[in-house]
Each structure stands twice: as structure tokens, then as C-alpha cells.
């Protein structure tokens, strides 16, 4: 379990980590293109599961309210 701040709960709660494989490389939305840019930028960084960062989405899910947050880029990225 991970202790993280949940915006929905407004406090630090227990989170579990969920890793999903992306169905296709990148979508067409601006957000997806931004992610594509970032994953290229951070392409040399190994992920915790050893898979390429641009092939997986890493989420943390609040165990109190179920709020799911994409967390591919670590704690600093909101």
C-alpha cells in the first residue's frame, strides 16, 4: 500500500497501484500527444515493472473513495 494525497478525500489515504498495458501506442487527443512527448523525453528511465514506460499506464487508486489517478511520471506530476 502507498500513502498518497487524494484530492477527492482531501487527505492522505492508502492507495494501491494498478498497471495497465496501453491498447495502442498513442491516442489522438492533446493529452495523449503530451504523454507521447513526455514518454519520449523520459524514454531512458526504467519503470518499476521493467516494461517500457510508453507501453504502460500506471495508476494509483484510493482505497477509501476509489479515485484513480494516472501516475506514470511519479509523485511530482499532477
Q: Write out the residues near Zn ion by the rule CB under 5 A.
A: 6, 8-9, 62, 64-65, 67
* Shortest spacing between CB 16 and Zn ion, in angstroms: 12
Alpha helix (H) residue ranges in the chain: 30-41
**At closest approach, how far in Å is the CB of 64 from Zn ion?**
4
User: Smaller CB distance to Zn ion: residue 16 or 64?
Assistant: 64
Cα gap 40→35, rounded to integer Å:
8
| CB neighbour class for 17 (10 Å; exposed up to 12, middle 13-18, buried from 19) | middle
Q: Which is nearer to Zn ion, 25 or 64 (CB)?
A: 64
Amino acid at each position: 500500500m502507498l500513502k498518497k494525497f487524494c484530492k477527492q478525500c482531501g487527505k492522505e489515504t492508502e492507495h494501491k497501484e494498478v498497471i495497465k498495458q496501453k491498447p495502442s501506442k498513442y491516442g489522438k487527443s492533446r493529452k495523449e500527444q503530451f504523454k507521447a512527448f513526455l514518454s519520449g523525453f523520459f524514454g531512458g528511465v526504467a519503470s518499476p515493472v521493467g516494461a517500457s514506460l510508453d507501453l504502460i499506464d500506471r495508476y494509483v487508486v484510493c482505497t477509501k473513495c476509489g479515485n484513480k489517478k494516472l501516475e506514470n511520471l511519479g509523485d511530482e506530476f499532477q
